[in-house]
Amino acid sequence: MKRILTGDRPTNESFHLGNYVGSLANRVKLQDEYDSYILIADLHALTTHFDKTTDLEKNIRGLMLGYLSIGLDPEKVTFCLQSGINGTTEIAYILSILTQRSVLERQPALKEKLDQGNQDTLGLYYYPVLMAADILAPKANLVPVGKDQKAHVEFARDIAIKFNNLYGNVFPIPEPLIGEIPTLPGTDGQGKMGKSLNNAIFLTDTPEDVEKKVMSMYTDPTRLKVTDPGHVEGNPVFIYLDAFGTDDDKPQTTNYKLLYSKGQVGDVEVKKFLVKVLNNFLDPIRKRRAEYENKPELVDKILKEGTEKARIEAQKTLLEVKKAMKIDYFI
């Protein structure tokens, strides 16, 4: 069975709808088809949150609850904590020897992170190398990621090919997998939903939270009154309906699109329908999360056992790497 590796930085304790369509939905879908590893990347979190380590434990637990609440099955998925996987950082160092500094300076996310005020540290530059090691240590074949992380997977492919060409075929060449809706707009109509942008609907939001956020959503700024024909294309309300509506919701969504384009239905009515659709989607997630919140020992056990399994895999790969490079003198 081919293997998946994907994961998230614990810089927040909850996922939002954009995370779900961008990556989480694929993880649930593929857990029956692949040997799935999901990494909580706490070392990566330190590149931008090195002064907020007291938040890590809370955020790690929050991500675990998020994974389990969306339907990821611990009997099928290996959940692991990056800092507990001995071997990955040593693989990363070896990969760094094969990496030109100019390549790291051109990474797309670097300028964005620096523009956001993050400190210009070696760890920030090193991020793609460590991420490549995260992917290659368990020998992942497929990496479900959001659109903004695709470049990092491509770097992992390039460095795996370079290593294999130099030392022999140790690593499989990983492929990125982007969600069907690569970017979900924020509730403010901006191009991307984000945790820090105050434009997100979270999987932990209450029904009342969802209603408040939806009813204040950006729709069509050119529509001054209900009878004005509205734009469906690019309208966040309809994008969300397409993304989260069930087959039973599709006829009503199609009808609203037609009426909206003709100026025969108001934003309020369509938004109320979206509130219902989103809460129907979120209700089973809320229920599962509540069940796991009452079992903290079980959640810890799942993560601890998964981390040990991932550590063993990383150690196996590290041994193969050293043997291929002829630096296994005392092993």
Number of other CB atoms surrounding residue 271 within 10 Å = 18
Assess contact for 201 and 187: CB atoms under 8 A: yes
Residue with tokens 């694929």: 26
The catalytic residue among 113, 162, 272, 304 is 113
CA 276 to each of CA 97, 179, 269, 309: distance values in angstroms, whole numbers, following the listed order: 53, 24, 11, 41
Question: Is 195 annotated in the active site?
Answer: yes
Token pair recorded at residue 282 = 């979120």
What span, in angstroms and rounded, lies between the C-alpha atoms of 294 and 159?
Answer: 43
| Cα gap 44→82, rounded to integer Å | 8
For residue 195, which of 14, 8, 38 has the smallest C-alpha distance? 14
Tokens representing 1?
């069975």
Q: State the catalytic residue, choosing from 29, 147, 195, 309.
A: 195
- Using only C-alpha atoms, the chain has a radius of gyration, in whole angstroms, of 22
For the chain, the farthest-separated pair of C-alpha atoms sits apart, in whole angstroms, at 79
Question: Does residue 276 carry a catalytic annotation?
Answer: no
Contacts 24+ apart (CB under 8 A), 157-166: 159/95, 159/98, 159/99, 159/129, 159/132, 160/132, 160/136, 162/98, 163/95, 163/98, 163/321, 166/98
- DSSP readout, 104-124? HHT-HHHHHHHHTT----HHH
The CA distances from residue 85 to 106, 208, 302, in Å, are 28, 40, 15
> Mutual orientation of helices 267-293 and 56-69 as an angle, nearest 10°?
110
Place of tokens 């509130």: 275
Q: Which of 29, 192, 309, 323 is catalytic?
A: 192
250 is known as an active-site residue: no
Task: Please give the angle made by the CA atoms of 188, 189 and 193, to the nearest 5 degrees.
Answer: 75
Active site residues: 113, 192, 195
